[in-house]
Amino acid sequence: MATATKTKAALKAKTLMANLTVNDLQRSMRFFEGLGFAVDEKWEDEGKVLGVMLRAGDAQIGLMQDDWQKGRDREKGAGVRVLIGTKQDIDEIAARAEEAGIALDSRPHDTEWGSRAFDLTEPSGFKLTISSDV
């Protein structure tokens, strides 16, 4: 099996989008809207919203309501962290998130790699980091 290197990459991706299966779609939508995302698309069945595509700038994230076929006690987000990069002021974004009622897992801080970041957890348990571009 061949391994991609910095000099010869098999894939030249321009975007990466996460789709999250969440416990409470409306609650997760409010969480992401509090971070500045807006609903770009909705998927409905008989008037019930089953999923949405959210957008903030060029970034997209999909949210789907869990249908509970794998059980209601299924852990979400174990071992996954979604990194959201921005050129905006991290302290201002964190303050707006808190004003929207979102609890931060960590206060804005300088990172070892030269960015500024803060961490938070989506209501279903998905971990996120919002970070300034390096």
Name the DSSP class of 45: E
- Coil, helix or strand at residue 101: coil
Q: What is the mean pLDDT of residues 71-96?
A: 91
Residue 128: what pLDDT? 96
Residue 74: what pLDDT? 84
- Which token pair is 13? 């991706």
pLDDT-based confidence at 79, cuts 50/70/90? confident
* Cβ contact 131:111 at 8 Å: yes
Does pLDDT of 3 surpass 80?
A: no
Q: What is the dihedral of CA 103, 122, 30, 48, to 10 degrees?
A: -150
Does pLDDT of 2 surpass 90?
A: no
Does pLDDT of 73 surpass 90?
A: no
* Cβ contact 109:118 at 8 Å: yes
Q: What is the DSSP string of 72-124?
A: TT---STT-EEEEEESS-HHHHHHHHHHTTPPEEEEEEE-TTS-EEEEEE-TT
Give every CB contact of residue 47 below 8 A, 6+ residues apart in sequence. none
Residue 4: what pLDDT? 58
Domain ranges of the chain: 18-67+75-132
Does pLDDT of 5 surpass 70?
A: no
* Beta-strand relationship, 18-22 and 59-65: parallel
Q: Tens digits of per-residue pLDDT, 6-54?
A: 667 688 777 888 999 999 999 999 999 999 999 999 999 999 999 999 9
Which residues share a beta bridge with 72? Answer: none
**Topology classification of domain 18-67+75-132:** 2,3-Dihydroxybiphenyl 1,2-Dioxygenase; domain 1 (3.10.180)
Residue 16: what pLDDT? 83
